[in-house]
Amino acid sequence: MANSPTRSQEPTWRLILRLLRWDKPTGRLILMVPALWSVVLAAGGTPPPLLVVVIVVGSLVTSAAGCVVNDLWDRDIDPQVKRTRDRPLASRALSVQVGIVVLGVALLCAWGLTVFLNWLSFGLCVLAVPVILLYPLAKRVFPVPQLVLAIAWGFAVLIPWAAVQNALPLPAWVLWLAVVLWTLGFDTIYAIPDREYDARLGINSSALFFGAETPEAIGLFFVGTWLMLVWLGGLLTLSWPFWVALAIAFMLWSRQVFLLTQYGNRPKLYAQLFRQNVLLGCLLLAGMILGSLL
């Protein structure tokens, strides 16, 4: 291995927070945002407050469980990658047994929240579990594992919509496809800095799969996202704030693709663009709320 992992003197509670990635809110928010898109649009802009709380907490514990699963699968790979070698399981600061217990608690919390859901949304939660648990395996056997992650992300749309309407009409599936394409875009950006390590370790990623055409592929994913949101806005007859937000989103996504095309090989740029997608998602959320109410 490139680095020999050692035990950390960091307090256990802080190590667990890092294992759950709660010290890095960007990754948590970027799952929460599509779930909030869904619950807002399904409820016509005024979702039940209790359901919003359930969706927010559910997205936090579900994404946390996904992070633990990922780190358990990759505990022998992460030490060989600069970005991940200090993760608690990779550095052996936490044991596998502790990781499994933390995973169990996260899944138990997620299961407890399902008492507030109807049977359709509960069934979707059950279907989401194997996708979450097996996503890290996809990196070893599937050429575009980000697609598996995107499908997992898509459950963040279907579950809230089903919880509100107890049905999945066409707008829910249009939003689902928008989120799948958006996830493919921003997670491919996230994967670019790791291409060298992934190639050496034999790990698949969309950034490796698309190679030199990665910026163009990201551009197509974002254009597809935008087109699906245009269709969605028409189906739900959303008013002008949504269309203003969508116009700004188009400009920002276009700028991101331009920067990726012109200024490659800059790790700080990739992190900046990834974070920008969270802010962009919040902007669209505001447009969806106001576009539903006005």
Tell me the CATH number at 205. 1.10.357.140
In a domain, 94, yes or no: yes
Q: What is the chain's alpha carbon radius of gyration, rounded to the nearest angstrom?
A: 19
pLDDT at 27: 82
Residue spans of the chain under pLDDT 50: 1-7
Among residues 26, 35, 225, 47, the alpha carbon closest in space to that of 124 is found at 35
In a domain, 6, yes or no: no
In a domain, 77, yes or no: yes
pLDDT at 6: 45
Q: For 100-148, what is each residue's pLDDT tens digit?
A: 999 999 999 999 999 999 999 999 999 999 998 888 889 999 999 999 9
Range of the domain at 250: 12-293
Contacts of 140 (CB under 8 A, 6+ apart): 202, 203, 204
In a domain, 191, yes or no: yes
Number of structural domains the chain divides into: 1
pLDDT at 94: 94
CA 84/CA 71 separation, integer angstroms: 9
pLDDT at 8: 52
Q: For 266-275, what is each residue's pLDDT tens digit?
A: 778 998 999 9
pLDDT at 7: 47
In a domain, 4, yes or no: no
Tokens at residue 61, please?
A: 């514990």
In a domain, 1, yes or no: no
